[in-house]
């Protein structure tokens, strides 16, 4: 047995594994790239590679899987990158397969680029990933992309002469996957390249009822060629209302974007039909509709592939794959994996050792080959050329034209032609304009005869207007000059910021549902650093405005002029604004020391009263100037909007430009109320308080900041009370006596300062002092300290700079060692146990009421070992366990250990899963048994490997044993019984105890056969069963 153990340890040395890390949704099959849809394709490709001696000779391909879903089954942009990090350091993969969702692919794509690892996907269709200049250089996409969708839309426009204007209408939900959001981005980016103007009509699909009449009026006023992306039900209702509104059908064309053809699934020839009273209206309206979908591959290899995909999905996941265009994605992943293998094979032939990601990716891009989905052409930026189909629903109700992405040509099918309700192609812009306001269409004005008194009156009015014009001339020149305007091209972004913005030249791949919020801090407990860029050689702060475009009204122009005119040492300098679509932002002076809130919450910074008074005085000086300026008031004064520059001078930011302020996106209740803790009672009581606030409201906010600085216990600290932000805001707004206010502590600050706080947050606004008066009061309390403070701050700055360099150096060294230690820890212990150790917690032994344990070994292994060379035995075990390890990744199980030919797995610990442990082990056992039946021993290909399996359920105790080489071990009679079930079993059968059988019976999906009473060593007679299989209707 020692010899077997020795060979199991060195098995991996003989045949090197190439590991592929797969990150895809595990359960939610509504995603085209869900694991039950793609998994069989990945397994098929890996099996083909491993069986072909000409591909990757000397290597064996395998995959490890991690889910990108959260507990709600939704792609998570926070979970996916964590899974990528875990897989990277636990398995050191050669490449990543997936993710598929746009939001999860963005951070993982950044990581793989940083690590120098190829990322192959058939998802991630957003236009942002097409920027391979420096952000996503690792990504190769073998599936359809929205950039190619935009190219097809542009080809349609050119074909029908729509060269001026189109309307993009789409439904959007900022907390969803935003498929239509990103699809329309593809159209927008391509159409704008050829100066086709676009208007957008965006609506929320799920949050409120759709206002169809309003949308139809917008369509009438903004477009005749309308690209639409939304749910099929909303689109049908839109067309029904279009027909009811009796708009001229011959003037409109609606191109419905339905990439996977869901609209055509139930009624291929009648997508308008719902068997209701609106069917006739819908049928007439749909004569103006064209449906745009992906084109299904027509080659025979694809049909064979789909047949294998269906069988594999049923076998591996008990999932039924329907005939659908979604299968193109599975084919794309298969072709992508095979493309990577061929590129890797070529690179290995030329390199000595593991080739670089750049070498492999270079061979994949700008390449054409034949795959299961037909001709695959990867362009020079790593995106696949995509084929599309266009359905006409006027009389024909079938595919009329197809687009060949490789040839960049649209062709009508034989015997087909383009037909239109009006007999001719609609114009993209009506001759008289959308509102009949073109000069050629307006009747000339009538000429009237004036009497003799009218010219005199006209002359007087002309003179008066001339005088007024001269007085305004200077002002108008200043407004027209737009000195504040900044071109986005003049902004040099940091690498990270380039990534976040480049993902949407019009839209964005940042966190879903995100609005850019406050400039420096989040409206909760977690700091968010200011977004920065370089402008004219200087670093500046950027605040993005959550608007697609901005209209320069006269009011806005005045606000921007006023911002340039306002200059003070204690206000952040307004540098300018960018109003280009998708990049609407405000650019201001950058203060690198962070916000006042950051400084107060940083316990490592010691603030004496000289320092505190200096900060308070800076706020007062800045606000006094602001109140006497044309800006008048701030409206959002809080500690996070007070920033500190390199010289420790405090400056106020986020003031003015009320027209640029937009309603915040939906946020959690805690964040919503937390940012209102500085707001005065009278403003809280208003339904819609003015964006610029009031001067007395600013005084109240200053009083709250004053208490923050004095006590350093957080905003609105109340001694002895633990009210939530919502409770505080509600009680302040209610205004009941005694008024709820923060605590005052005379032991921490002077009595005069406490009185000043109370005056500032007085309930009656008129009782609050002006900033000019506050300045006088503070001067009395803090005389003759400016020189001392200047010296102190100079020394602090010098010390801080030295410390920053030292801390940065030490931090990098620490993080590198931490990554190495964590990678090793995750290979030794379960993830949850390793996380406990990382947090410094003692891992206590834990009792589990019910788990299921799997044991297996190879019948006749000793004889087989004796008849084989040591290297042959090592190769056998390595091949077998590589196969097993790949299979168990698909189940909720934990591999305990392998000793020689023995293999031990458990489900139900360290994370409990109810009674699912028995089901998971049973399904895994069936999968392993099926794999063994087709397993080939390299040096004895005709010999059947006989696996003997035993499973048993019961209680165990588990814990970490040992300090050197610690192991996570299981103890209890259940372990012994499980081992006995295996040793008393039979080859190629699964031996099940009665306890496990009772649990499996609750699932009502497993086929079990009574074996009878079996004598067990140390147990006596036990009634046992054979597990034969699983019914097809299992969940």
634 and 773 belong to one structural domain: yes
Residue 982: inside a domain: yes
Task: Give the pLDDT confidence score for residue 361 in this predicted structure.
Answer: 94
Q: Which of 146, 190, 397 is nearest to 291 (CA)?
A: 397
Q: Looking at the structure, do residues 849 and 732 belong to the same domain, yes or no?
A: no
Q: Which of 152-161, 362-371, 507-516 has the lowest mean pLDDT?
A: 507-516
Per-residue confidence (pLDDT) for residue 371, from 0 to 100: 95
Last residue of a domain, one of 346, 377, 412: 412
C-alpha pair distances (Å), 50 with each of 40, 240, 819: 15, 55, 32
User: Are the beta carbons of 153 and 198 closer than 8 angstroms?
Assistant: no
Q: Given this model, what pLDDT does residue 41 score?
A: 97
Question: Which of residues 111 and 528 earns the better pLDDT score?
Answer: 111
With beta carbons less than 8 A apart as the criterion, state whether 876 and 52 touch. Answer: no
Q: Which of 640-644, 656-660, 791-795, 798-802 has the highest mean pLDDT?
A: 640-644
* Pairing of the two strands 374-378 and 388-392: unpaired
Q: In angstroms, what CA-CA distances link 124 with 144, 154, 253, 512, 1013?
A: 9, 21, 29, 15, 56
Q: Choose one of 717, 751, 783: the last residue of a domain.
A: 783
Q: Who's near 324: CB < 8 A, 6+ residues apart?
A: 260, 261, 265
Cβ-proximal residues to 238 (8 Å cutoff; 6+ apart), any chain: 210, 212, 215, 216, 228, 230
pLDDT, greater one: 439 or 626:
626
Which one is predicted more confidently, 790 or 20? 20
Give the residue from 581, 588, 509, 586 showing the smallest Cα distance to 545. Answer: 586
| Alpha helical stretches, state H, 223-275 | 232-244, 263-266
Residue 171 lies inside a defined structural domain of this protein: yes
What confidence score (pLDDT) does residue 1025 get?
92
201: which 2 tokens?
């009509």
Same domain, 127 and 30: yes
- The DSSP output letter for 583 is -
Asked whether residue 765 carries a pLDDT value surpassing 90, the answer given is: yes
Q: Give the CA distances from residue 906 to residues 276, 888, 998, 1035, in Å, rounded to whole numbers and listed in that order.
A: 54, 11, 18, 21
For residue 822, being part of any structural domain is answered with no
We report the CATH number of the domain holding residue 914 as 3.30.70.1230
What DSSP character marks residue 355?
A: P
Q: Which of 611, 609, 603, 612 is nearest to 795 (CA)?
A: 611
Q: Spell 314-325 as b/e; 16+ CB within 10 A means b.
A: eebbbbebeebb
Asked if 330 and 182 sit in the same domain, the reply is no
Position 346 in a domain: yes
* pLDDT for res 969: 86
Residue 638 located in a structural domain: yes
User: Residue 638: its pLDDT value, please?
Assistant: 95
Residue span of the structural domain in which 396 resides: 146-258+261-294+390-412
Whether 475 is covered by a domain: the verdict is no
- The DSSP symbol for 447 reads P
Quick one: pLDDT band at residue 431, thresholds 50, 70, 90?
confident
Tell me: do 33 and 98 sit in the same domain: yes
Do the Cβ atoms of 198 and 192 come closer than 8 Å?
yes
> What is the C-alpha R_g of the chain?
35
Instruction: Please report the pLDDT score of residue 290 as a whole number.
Output: 93
Q: Do 632 and 699 sit in the same domain of this protein?
A: yes
Question: How many structural domains are present in the chain?
Answer: 4
- What average pLDDT score do residues 759-769 get? 94
Tell me, yes or no, whether 287 and 319 share the same domain: no
pLDDT digits 0-9 by tens, 181-190: 899 999 998 9
Consecutive H or E run containing 773? helix 771-781
pLDDT tens, position by position, 846-874: 889 899 999 998 888 888 888 888 888 88
Mean pLDDT of all residues in 699-715 = 94
| Same domain flag for 534 and 610 | yes
Q: What is the CATH number of the domain that holds 176?
A: 3.40.50.2300
Task: State how far the Cα of 489 lies from the Cα of 408, in Å rounded to an integer.
Answer: 31
- CA angle at 991 for the pair 985 and 996, rounded to the nearest 5°: 145
* Residue 470 belongs to a domain: no
- d(Cα 1000, Cα 173) in Å, to the nearest integer? 42
Kind plus residue range of the DSSP H or E element containing 587: strand 585-589
pLDDT category of residue 334 using cuts at 50, 70 and 90: very high
Mean pLDDT for the stretch of residues 191-199: 87
Cα→Cα distances 765→383, 733, 769, 772, 884, Å: 62, 14, 9, 16, 73
Q: Any idea which of 189-198, 303-312, 393-402, 424-433 has the lowest mean pLDDT?
A: 393-402
- Determine the length of the chain: 1035
pLDDT band for 446, please (50, 70, 90 cuts).
very low
> Quick one: pLDDT at residue 661?
67
Higher pLDDT, 631 or 960: 631
Q: Judge residue 577's burial from the number of C-beta atoms within 10 Å of its C-beta, 0-12 exposed, 13-18 middle, 19 or more buried.
A: buried
pLDDT of residue 516: 28
Q: Do both 664 and 676 map to the same domain?
A: yes
Residue of higher predicted confidence among 423 and 804: 423
For residues 775 and 702, what is the distance between their CA atoms, to the nearest angstrom? 12
Cβ(11)–Cβ(881) under 8 Å?
A: yes
Q: What are the pLDDT digits (tens) for 58-83? A: 899 999 999 999 888 899 888 999 99
Residue where one domain finishes, among candidates 783, 815, 847: 783
| Judgement on whether residues 176 and 140 belong to the same structural domain of the protein | no
Do 559 and 657 form a contact (C-beta atoms < 8 A)?
Answer: yes
271 near 291, Cβ under 8 Å? yes
770 and 843 inside one domain: no
C-alpha distances in Å from residue 665, one per residue of 577, 662, 678: 22, 9, 20
Mean pLDDT of all residues in 515-523:
30
The average pLDDT across 394-406 equals: 77
Residues 311 and 342 in one domain: yes
Among the listed ranges 691-705, 787-801, 959-973, which one has the minimum average pLDDT value?
Answer: 787-801
- What's the pLDDT at 990? 92
pLDDT of residue 840: 66
Residue 831 Rama label (left phi>0; alpha psi -120 to 50; beta): alpha
Alpha carbons within 13 A on the beta-carbon side of 908: 27
Confidence of residue 397 (pLDDT cuts 50, 70, 90): low
Looking at residue 870, its pLDDT comes to 86
Domain contains 442: no
Mean pLDDT for 345-368 is: 91
Which tens digits make up the pLDDT trace of 473-502?
Answer: 666 766 777 888 888 888 887 543 443 344
pTM (two decimals): 0.51
DSSP characters for 38-94?
A: HHHHHHHHHHHHHH-TTSSTTEEEEEEEEE-B-TTS-B-TTHHHHHHHHHHHHH--S
Q: Percentage of residues in the chain with pLDDT exceeding 70?
A: 85
pLDDT at 440: 61
* Mean pLDDT computed over every residue of the chain: 84
- Rounded CA separation 259/849 (Å): 49
Kindly tell me if the per-residue pLDDT of 458 is higher than 70: no
Is the pLDDT at 748 greater than 90? The verdict is: no
């Amino acid at each position: 047995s020692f010899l077997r153990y020795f060979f199991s340890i060195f098995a991996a040395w003989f045949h090197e594994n190439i590991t592929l890390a797969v990150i895809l949704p595990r359960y939610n099959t509504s995603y085209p790239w869900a694991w039950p849809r793609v998994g069989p394709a990945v397994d098929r490709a890996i099996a083909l590679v491993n069986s072909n001696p000409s591909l990757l000779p000397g290597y064996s391909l395998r995959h490890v899987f991690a889910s990108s879903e959260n507990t709600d089954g939704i792609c998570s942009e926070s979970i996916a990158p964590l899974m990528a990090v875990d897989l990277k350091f636990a398995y050191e993969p050669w490449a990543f397969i997936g993710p598929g969702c746009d939001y999860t692919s963005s951070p993982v794509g950044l990581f793989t680029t940083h690590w120098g690892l190829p990322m192959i996907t058939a998802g991630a269709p957003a236009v942002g990933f097409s920027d391979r200049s420096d952000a996503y250089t690792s990504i190769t996409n073998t599936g359809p992309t929205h950039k190619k969708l935009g190219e097809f839309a542009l080809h349609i426009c050119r074909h029908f002469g729509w060269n001026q204007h189109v309307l993009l209408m789409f439904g959007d939900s900022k907390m969803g996957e935003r498929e239509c959001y990103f699809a329309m981005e593809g159209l927008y980016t391509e159409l704008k390249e050829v100066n086709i103007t676009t208007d957008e009509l965006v609506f929320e699909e799920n949050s409120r009822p759709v206002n169809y009449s309003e949308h139809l009026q917008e369509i009438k006023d903004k477009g005749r060629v309308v690209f639409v992306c939304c749910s099929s039900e909303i689109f049908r209702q839109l067309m029904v209302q279009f027909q009811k509104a009796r708009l001229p059908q011959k003037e409109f064309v609606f191109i419905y974007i339905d990439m996977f053809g869901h609209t055509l699934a139930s009624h291929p020839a009648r997508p308008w039909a719902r068997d209701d009273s609106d069917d006739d209206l819908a049928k007439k309206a749909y004569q103006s509709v064209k449906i745009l979908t992906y084109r299904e591959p027509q080659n025979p290899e694809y049909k064979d592939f789909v047949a294998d995909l269906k069988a594999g999905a049923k076998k591996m996941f008990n999932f039924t794959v329907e005939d659908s265009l979604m299968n193109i994605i599975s084919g794309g992943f298969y072709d992508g994996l095979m493309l990577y293998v061929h590129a890797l094979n070529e690179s290995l032939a030329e390199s000595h050792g593991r080739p670089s990601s750049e070498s492999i990716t270079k061979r994949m891009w700008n390449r054409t080959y034949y795959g299961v989905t037909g001709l695959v052409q990867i362009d020079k930026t790593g995106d696949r050329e995509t084929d599309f189909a266009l359905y006409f629903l006027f009389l024909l109700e079938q595919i009329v034209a197809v687009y060949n992405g490789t040839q960049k040509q649209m062709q009508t099918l034989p015997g087909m032609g383009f037909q239109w309700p009006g007999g001719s192609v609609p114009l993209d812009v009506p001759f008289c304009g959308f509102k009949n306001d073109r000069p050629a269409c307006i009747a000339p004005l009538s000429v009237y005869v004036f009497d003799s008194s009218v010219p005199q009156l006209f002359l007087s009015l002309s003179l008066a207007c001339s005088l007024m014009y001269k007085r305004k001339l200077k002002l108008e020149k200043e407004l027209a000059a737009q000195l504040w305007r900044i071109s986005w091209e003049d902004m040099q972004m940091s690498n990270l910021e380039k990534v976040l913005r480049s993902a949407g030249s019009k839209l964005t791949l940042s966190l879903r549902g995100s609005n850019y919020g406050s400039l420096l801090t989040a409206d909760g407990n977690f700091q968010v650093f200011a977004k920065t860029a370089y402008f004219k050689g200087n670093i500046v702060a950027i605040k993005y405005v959550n608007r697609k475009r901005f209209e320069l009204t006269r009011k806005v122009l005045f606000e921007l002029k006023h911002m340039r005119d306002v200059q003070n040492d204690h206000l952040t300098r307004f540098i300018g604004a960018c109003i280009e679509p998708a990049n609407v932002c405000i650019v201001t002076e950058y203060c690198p020391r962070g916000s006042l809130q950051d400084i107060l919450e940083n316990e490592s910074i010691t603030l004496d009263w000289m320092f505190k008074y200096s900060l308070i005085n800076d706020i007062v000086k800045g606000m006094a100037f602001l109140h006497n300026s044309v800006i008048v008031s701030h409206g959002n004064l809080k500690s996070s909007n007070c920033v500190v520059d390199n010289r420790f001078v405090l400056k106020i930011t986020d003031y003015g430009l009320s027209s640029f302020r937009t309603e915040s996106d939906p946020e959690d209740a805690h964040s919503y109320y937390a940012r209102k803790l500085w707001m005065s009672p009278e403003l809280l009581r208003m339904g819609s308080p003015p964006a610029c606030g009031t001067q007395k409201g600013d005084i109240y906010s200053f009083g709250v900041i004053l208490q923050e600085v004095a006590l350093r216990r957080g905003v609105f600290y109340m001694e002895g009370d633990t009210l939530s932000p919502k409770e505080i805001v509600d009680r302040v707004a209610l205004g009941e006596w005694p008024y709820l206010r923060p605590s005052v502590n005379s032991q921490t600050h002077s009595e005069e300062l406490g009185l000043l706080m109370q005056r500032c947050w007085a309930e009656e606004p008129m009782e609050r002092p002006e900033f000019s008066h506050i300045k006088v009061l503070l001067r009395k309390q803090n005389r003759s300290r400016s020189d001392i403070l200047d010296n102190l701050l100079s020394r602090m700055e010098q010390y801080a700079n030295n410390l920053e360099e030292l801390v940065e150096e030490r931090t990098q060294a620490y993080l590198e060692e931490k990554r190495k230690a964590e990678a090793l820890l995750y290979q030794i212990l379960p993830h949850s146990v390793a996380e406990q150790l990382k947090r410094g917690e003692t891992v206590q032994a834990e009792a589990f009421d019910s788990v299921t344990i799997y044991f297996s070994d190879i019948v006749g292994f000793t004889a087989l070992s004796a008849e084989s060379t040591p290297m042959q035995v090592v190769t056998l075990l390595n091949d077998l366990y590589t196969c097993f390890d790949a299979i168990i990744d698909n189940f909720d199980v934990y591999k305990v250990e392998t000793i020689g030919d023995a293999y031990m797995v458990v489900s139900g610990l360290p994370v409990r899963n109810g009674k699912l442990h028995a089901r998971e082990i049973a399904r895994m056992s069936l999968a392993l048994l099926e794999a063994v039946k087709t397993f080939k021993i390299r040096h004895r290909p005709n010999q059947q490997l006989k696996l003997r399996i035993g499973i048993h359920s019961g209680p165990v105790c588990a814990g970490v044993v040992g300090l050197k080489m610690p192991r996570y071990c299981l103890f209890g009679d259940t372990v012994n019984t499980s081992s006995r079930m295996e040793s008393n079993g039979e080859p190629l059968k699964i031996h099940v105890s009665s306890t496990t059988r009772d649990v499996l019976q609750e699932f009502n999906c497993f086929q079990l056969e009574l074996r009878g009473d079996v004598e067990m060593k140390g147990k006596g007679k036990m009634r046992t069963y054979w597990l034969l299989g699983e019914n097809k209707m299992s969940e």
